Structure 1
Amino acid sequence: MPEKVNEKTVFSLLEVMRSIQKTLEGRYTSSFWVKAEMNKLNHYSHSGHCYPELVEKREGKVIAQIRSILWKEDYKLIDKRFQQVLNEPLRDGIKILFAARITFDPVYGLTLRITDIDPAYTLGDLEREKQETLMQLKQEGLFGRNKMLSLPLLPQRIAVISVETSKGYADFLRVIDHNPWGYRFFHLLFPALLQGEKAVASIRSQLKRIQKVKHHFDVVALVRGGGGDIGLSCYNSYLLSREIALFPLPVITGIGHATNETVAEMIAFQNAITPTKIGEYLLQRFHNFAVPLRQAEEKIAERAARLLREEKTAFLSLAKYFRSVSRNRLNRYDHELYGQTATLLQQSRFRLQREKEQQAAAMSGIRRNVALFRQHQSGALEALQRIVTNLDPVNVLRRGYSITRLNGRSVKAQEQVKEGDILETQLFDGGLTSKVTAIRKTDDDE
């Protein structure tokens, strides 16, 4: 009851809260449907209860906000239906149509107690988000952008975006690392969250990291597995899809679901249902190169063997023909050589005989010429002998000539001597010594 304080009617806070509680309970006697955005689910795992934070936005601004409560048992049933209908759990950031009752507690204040949520409404909102993303990408000309890139003939260097403990990641590595053909791959993990409200930011962050070292890789593989169709709405995000569309390397996806293809998969260079299929796709690229190469190798080997056989046969045939021609040619040359040898011997004998006769005739002529020459030279020699004999100093002296010497040297001209010189004169039968007393010149000197 109120009390009087200084002539004022005063209510306690509890009385006011109970009055409000009674008024609301009298006014809102049944549940009703409300649409809002669940900004935060606020699920507490230890109790199992949720305390969703509900908002309504207009042009990006919050125009209404209230706290709500979702008891454990109701949450379990609603979350199960969400996963069955949306392939998504109940989570932050989705728009919901929910049934609620207004409750008011003097301590905790006004709260909406959620008793049911219609997953069909949220499904339509998610589908609308997907279609809006597709439309915006097409309007910007980005929808087929990544598909226009060229994948290397042998994509060996793979940047993998996944969770290290993911079963899908393990399946992907098993396929490419243990393939029976021995194809070799280099791969590097860029770990990221693959579902939930933080998945978009996490995947985009790793894409930006890869872009900085893009020259080290041929392709990016976005690999997720083990989660079925649950938690795929993040792959309809415009921001993530745009990042993939504009990425400078081909992006291939294997996010492990069989229905309701996401935008990220649509705009990726190549998409497969599972990580295993993505691994098989890469192996097939190697097959497409290796099989024709192996067939070409076999064909080359086969043709080479056939050519060798044909060339060997042709060579043996040619060798046989060569032996036959050579034998015939040698036999003919033997006969020719024998005939030429006989002719040469005959001609040589004839030539030797003729040369002997010519030599004998020449020797006879030489002998005659030598005899005549000797006779002629003998007469000339005798004449020379007579001249030499006549010119002998002894014979010259005998004919009345003498030799005058001065100091042992013959005197040939009167200029060689002077008065007073002692001269020696040699005669045939002796000699004279004389002294020059006078020098007389002949008339020619004068």
Structure 2
Amino acid sequence: MQGDNNARLFLNKLIEVYQTGISYDAVVITRGGGAQSDFLIFDNYNIGRAVAKFPIPIITGIGHQKDVSITDMMAHTNTKTPTKAAEFIIAHNRSFEMGLLAVQQNIVIKSQQLFLRHFKILEELKKNISLNTRTLLAQHKEKLSFSNQRIAANVKDILHEHQKKLSLKIQFTAQTSQNLLRRKNSDIEHLAGNLKLFSRACLRSKNLHLEHMQKSIALMSPQNILKKGYAIVKANGKITSRANDIKEGEDIEVILYDTILKSTVKEKIRHDGRETDL
């Protein structure tokens, strides 16, 4: 797994994943054991840079218990083994699923409670309307009967008068019921609208959090660090930050943001780091 050729193959695989156009949730990089030298490819600059800039979250499970590679540091999430990577994904998906199920269950429960409460109110109104109507009918029938017995000559006028009053009262009762039902339906629609707004606000908050994480990862890329004036030193083809790895007279490469400087070490002078101490 060493060498520029293997690194290019690795990068090509990442490019192939990106070019498929499929909106994958994540890309998992694993290593199923092997020699210590097989671990070196994951310290390749180009691979680390590609992982840091990759638009899809990358999870590593390279399988090395002691060392952390550049690829691990650039990844969205790093784990020690392929098994741990799988456990992380399963746990993440399970947590997301449980959250959705909890929200769904709460919506169902609230909807059922709301429906039951209004159903009971409507049933009570229905009973009251029916009872009041029967009571009114009984009262007016009794009055009509009494008036018919006492005033036979004016029976038609009396019947007409009471029928008119009865019709008005029934009409008023029906109109009152319709207005009440309309108000209750409006309340239900208002509650449904609030539930939709809450769901959208929750999703918007999660999206903002994901965007913040992506920006933070981008700021950690080696290219952004080089822009700030730092440099990478390579001796014998390897990146190093230790003076003991470089001997006087050896050739080294100093990698800046847009230039590589090749030079020969004439002298090593000890530096305490105070000039760059923040």
Q: Which one has more relative contact order, counting CA pairs under 8 Å at least 6 apart?
A: 2
Larger Rg: 1
**Larger helix proportion, structure 1 or 2?**
2
- What TM-score results when the alignment is normalised by the length of structure 1? 0.31
- What TM-score results when the alignment is normalised by the length of structure 2? 0.47
**Larger strand proportion, structure 1 or 2?**
1
